A and B are shown apart, each in its own frame.
Chain A
Amino acid sequence: MLHRVFAIVVALLALAPAAYADVRSDAKAQVEFGIKAAQNELWKEATYRWEKATQIDPTYAEAWNNLAIGYEYAGRFEDAEMAYQRALKLDPNNTMIRQNYDQFKEIDDRSKRRRDR
């Protein structure tokens, strides 16, 4: 009995990375499609793809970064802030995400200052 349980646990552990790889590759496909759409200025489509990617794999920092940019383009600053925060939480040392976030923050602060004036 113990042997059987052990065998099942081993099998599950062996299969987990494969399943994760599958999830990531599905999300990656959405991200890449989104990038192509954004490069052709189809930002709505791009944002939709990145939303899907983050639903498929919520641990995909790059997808959150792209989604934040999509929200930024649409003027959805609160959603963009949340997506950037998520991306940075997942990958705090990513300088490119940090750079994007800093640029976004500058505009967001400016927009808030204008509203308060």
Chain B
Amino acid sequence: MQPANQNRSRLGRSFAVLALFGVTAACTNFYEVPIETPIQAKLDVSAFRRVLVAGFISGGTDDVDANMETVRLLRSQLRTKTNLRVIEAEVLPLTELANEQSRANASQPASAPVAADGAVMAPVPSLPQPASPASTGQPGEDTKKPDTPGAIRSKRDLERYERIFADAAFWKKLGEEYESPLIITGTVMFTPQQSAGWVNQNREQYDQLGRRIVVPTRTYMERKGFVLEPKFVFIDGRTGATLYSETQRREVLYPSTQSTPALASYFELMDQLIPDFLGALSTQRIRGSRILLR
């Protein structure tokens, strides 16, 4: 008798489980699905099949060759994340070229650059030697390296060179050399910074029962780090005209006791900027999930 009862109860339980499963399946009214939402590119680059990351006018610390590093990083990102063919060419020493150009303009005022629409532009003015205080690669360090003549240490120094981006004839000539690609150039300022003040921090504590709790505290801290301010200029290699430009700014601060190499900070900040840079050229897809309903 007992085995029969056991069998019956086991059968009953199986039915209950099956019924529960059936009810659950029938009641599932939502499904979570992964989704990639596209964000359209800011710039229509369908007319270009090739891209030339020409070079950048760089300034700030001497510890990172911001021109070389930016060109290398952008080329590798463009190669893997866009359909454009990246031209592997020598990196232009743009600061020197701008200097030469301004010197030539100063000695020959008649040869003013011509803009994309044929209008004659004012010559690039001669570049005065900036006299800003020297800064080094180690954030917050007070050591003074002798400044190289013409070194770019501040945004003000940089402004004097920016006229080169409006020199359509120069960019058109460069474009002709590389079969009229999309040209990417601009400026990169990578400067050390220091700050001191009250900082909000979360401190872990354990209460009497051994439970972990997080207590917000305010601490006075001396911190040092870097500011990265690139300006990306997109130029039509066929005409030399600027299609689009955007300036970005990112900064990072570390406790003064922490020693972070300038190059590591540079890449940390560039990592944050790259999605926005790529977003100018190609459609970005943002991964997430949504709930579909029945």
Asked whether A39 and B37 contact (CB < 8 A) given A32-B294, A66-B293, the answer is no
Kindly state whether residue A73 has any CB partner on chain B within 8 Å.
yes
Which of the 9-residue segments A2-10, A12-20, A94-102 touches chain B? A94-102
In the complex formed, the residue of B with least CB distance to A62 is B293
Contact of A73 with B292 in the complex, beta carbons under 8 Å? no
Tally of B interface residues using CB under 8 Å: 22
Number of A-B contacts (CB under 8 A): 63
Q: Which of A65, A72, A111 contacts B35 (CB 8 A)?
A: A72
Flag whether A92 is at the interface (Cβ < 8 A): no
Stretch at the interface among B38-46, B83-91, B161-169: B38-46
Nearest-neighbor residue (CB-CB) of B31 within chain A: A35
Stretch of B173-181, B205-213, B252-260, B283-291 lying at the A interface: B283-291
- Interface 1/0s, chain B 243-286, versus A by CB < 8 A? 00010000000000000000000000000000010010001001
Expressed in whole angstroms, the minimum distance between the Cβ of A29 and any Cβ of chain B is 11
**Chain B contact residues: over half helix, strand or loop, or mixed?**
strand
Closest-by-CB residue of A relative to B30 is A96
- CA separation between A46 and B290, bound complex, in Å? 14
Least Cβ–Cβ distance between A65 and chain B, in angstroms: 5
Residues A72 and B37 in contact in the complex (CB < 8 Å), given A28-B294, A35-B294, A62-B293: yes
In the complex, chain A residues whose CB is within 8 Å of the CB of B286: 107
- Residues of A participating in the B interface, judged by any CB pair closer than 8 Å: 28, 31-32, 34-35, 38-39, 61-62, 65-66, 69, 72-75, 94, 96-97, 99-100, 103-104, 107, 110-111, 114-115, 117
